[in-house]
Structure 1
Amino acid sequence: MPPRNGHRPRPPVGAAKLDELALAYVGRFATSRGKLVDYLRRKLRERGWEGEGDPPLADIADRLARLGYIDDAAYALSKARVLGGRGYGARRVEQSLHIAHIDEDDRGGAMEAAQEGRVEAALRLAKRRRIGPFATTPLDPIARQKAIGAMLRGGHPLALSRAIVEMSPGHRIDHSYLAELR
């Protein structure tokens, strides 16, 4: 790789440096095995590999998981709670977990939490976007379609999104009715 800004190129990464990079990353960020492997691959692309054969990326991630530095199930649950708190639905949570390379086995608790909090998450997004009962004025048909689109992009099901968007400003929210919608 050519030098950047007049600096010397950094030396290729060896096994010890790869371990050091991995430990520094998990020490700084909550992460999953897959995200750690992606980070290490990026570092290897930038600097190169000085060892023989393929670098032991999966072995490093597995070792750090055995030591308790990485816990994919806990990461998934935390991610689901954070996204739900920001108003995102189960589809958006699942997409995020897929990007983080979380296995199906480790997604279970996170997806269950996302499903349990789906109505509250949808209402949080509606409040943030001033949609439905949180709007200041009734929406015209075009604005209503855009609001439904925003709810769908947020990972919420169509029926729930439509029901919330069609509520008039200040409308009393019936949580039990919304919980029945899929």
Structure 2
Amino acid sequence: MTDTTDTNTASPASPATGHWRLDADRSSVRLRHRTMWGLVNVKGAFTRVEGDGEVRPDGSAHGNLAIDAASLDTGNRKRDTHLRGPEFFDVENHPRIVFTVTDASPEGSGAARVNGVLTIVGRSHPMTFTARLDEVAKDTVTLTAEVVIDRHDFGMAANPGGMMTGAATVSVAARFTRH
């Protein structure tokens, strides 16, 4: 990738123009969902994630975040095996969850409006949400966001015993380094 950032004078509130790569070791994608008829929060994390992006001269950006669906860890091996199966993430046929950022634009006050497409188990849906810029330095930027996802939008309708209620909340902390 060619670095075009030498003459950029980005403000401390926005990342510099150029190519950025996700620092997977300093990033996290966490999931929580109510179960047991809304009485218990099941929490988990996807442990393998990658991504990249590009910040344009006008401050807008595009890129992608790819998650290894089989890396979901809820701390319960039996539950994880079930979630990786055909009723939910179907990792054998759909090993990756991908969010493609079509446009991210600064909103001011350390926030960005993110537009993109989320693909899970081969089904794609547009999404828009606000991400917070928690750290912006010369060669690093960290964005955080919480996104509510309705699993039914992606064909994950299994609900053993009627125990699962509502949508899942995905919390993302994505740290990028400039390349």
Report the TM range for the smaller structure's normalisation: under 0.3
Look at both structures and tell me which one has the larger radius of gyration over its CA atoms: 1
TM-score (norm 2): 0.22
Q: Which has the higher helix share?
A: 1
TM-score (norm 1): 0.22
